[in-house]
Structure 1
């Protein structure tokens, strides 16, 4: 079995563990924060140790490319977050109004 056989390369910026919706970025986030494979599996219990080790090994063998991948992914997520703040959904707008009203009521009650 080749190392790449553990992954589905859906696009240049979407690499997932085969048979899962979990991206390699999810595993690597824990790994790069210092979690052991055994600790990672407690946070991602649908994976097994073999898959976690394969992901870490793939990262270590392709560190430059995967670091660039993780950087692009973080940038894309930040852009999406900023866009959602600038143009919130109707639900988010309604929740913000309700939160402001609740805070206002609490202040007035004091």
Structure 2
């Protein structure tokens, strides 16, 4: 089996493991940034085989320059999306933030009453 046969190349910025919805960035983030072993990664992502995890790491090692750029682009995209979500939270997030503020206000009020 050729190494590339382990993956679906959906777009230049979307490479997934065959028969799954898991992108190579997910596996490689665990490997590169969290220093997890292939066995640990396979235990976390139980829908993947240990062979698939090793294939992903081997693909990275064989294509280090292009895959490193792929990961860097993915990390940058994630950073931009988090910033955008903070600037413009969805209505559901705004509601949760409001509920949290109300709850904290009630806790502060209760603390004043019990100490007052």
| TM-score (normalizing by structure 2) | 0.92
- Work out the CA distance in 2 between the residues paired with 1:48 and 1:17: 10
Q: Which residue of 2 aligns with 1:13?
A: 13
**Corresponding residue SS for 2:22:** coil
RMSD between aligned residues:
0.7
**CA distances 1:57-88 after superposition (whole Å, capped 9, x unpaired):** 00000011111000000111111111111111
Runs of 4+ with >6 A deviation: none
Unaligned residue ranges in structure 1 (runs of 5+): none
TM-score, scaled to structure 1: 0.97
TM-superposed deviation, 1:2: 1.2
Following the alignment from structure 2 to structure 1, what is the Cα–Cα distance between the partners of residues 68 and 78?
Answer: 15
CA distance in 2: counterparts of 1:22 and 1:82, whole angstroms: 24
Instruction: Give, in angstroms, the shift of residue 4 of structure 1.
Output: 0.6
Could you tell me how far apart the structure 2 residues matched to 1:50 and 1:95 are? Answer: 41
Report how many residues are paired.
110
How much does 1:8 deviate?
0.6
Equivalences for 1:1-110 in 2 at 5 Å? 1-32=1-32, 33-110=34-111
Aligned to 1:10, the other structure's residue is in SS state strand
Deviations 1:31-79 (A, max 9, x none): 1122111111111111001101100100000011111000000111111
Mind listing any 5+ residue stretches in structure 2 that lack a counterpart?
112-116
